[in-house]
Amino acid sequence: MDISEALATAANIMLLGMVCVFVFLGMLVLALKVLEKVAGGEVVPAVGVVPTKSNIQVDANVTAAITAAVHKFRQTKSND
């Protein structure tokens, strides 16, 4: 394959590739439009930080411990 032939092939791939990428992702755009119609609508925040399980656990532990501690402290105080 001489260089001009190779360049022609490369140009061919370039054209074909960009067309395919656009067609493919274009179909995905259509699919997403359909998807929104079918499955969209639920109102939840689109993006954002979801609290992870470990955070929740820690907070629950912390809260429980503090509740107990403050309660105890209050009792101690009232006994003063």
**Comparison of 33 and 72: residue with beta carbon closer to its own copies:** 72
CA atoms of 34 and 55, how far apart (whole Å): 36
Query: Does the protein bind another protein through residue 51 (CB under 8 A)?
Result: no
Nearest to 55 by CA among 63, 46, 47, 44: 63
- Applying CB under 8 A, the site for another protein has a residue count of 37
| 28 lies in the binding site for another protein (CB under 8 A) | yes
Residue numbers 27-66 binding its own copies by CB under 8 A: 55, 57-59, 61-63, 65-66
